[in-house]
Amino acid sequence: MMTTPIIITMTNKGQFTLPARVRKALALDERGEKLTLTFEPTSQQIVLSKPLSFADIQAKARTYVKPGTPPLLDAGALYNRREARLCRVLLGRSIRKRSSASL
């Protein structure tokens, strides 16, 4: 991706204004929206990024869930079922290995 440098000026209060096209690209519509500033001292570079909102995280998580999957209401029960299944699979394999080794 090719980037074009944008020169912005610091005010006497130490503030910078992001140009409208940058605000639009970051979908910054409302006053008071937050940005994350990451400063790399060795390269003297600053990276501004928009933090993920809860809605963004939910939308991303939905891409991993098959349509029609019921919501997870009891994580403990799911964990216990998967642990039990894993134990059955592992024990079944070790029992089969032992029985074929004894032949």
pLDDT digits (tens, 9 = 90+) for 4-24: 888 999 999 999 999 999 899
CATH classification (class only), 18-54: mainly beta
Q: Are 37 and 48 in contact (CB under 8 A)?
A: yes
Shortest CA distance to 51 belongs to which of 38, 34, 39, 63? Answer: 34
Amino acid at 85: R
pLDDT digits (tens, 9 = 90+) for 49-78: 888 888 888 888 888 888 888 888 888 888
Q: Which residue ranges make up each domain of the chain? A: 18-54
Task: Give the separation between CA 5 and CA 25, rounded to whole angstroms.
Answer: 15
SS3 track for 14-54: CCCCCCHHHHHHCCCCCCCCCCEEEEECCCCEEEEECCCCH
pTM to 2 decimal places: 0.47
What is the helix (H) or strand (E) element at residue 48, kind and residue range? Answer: strand 45-49
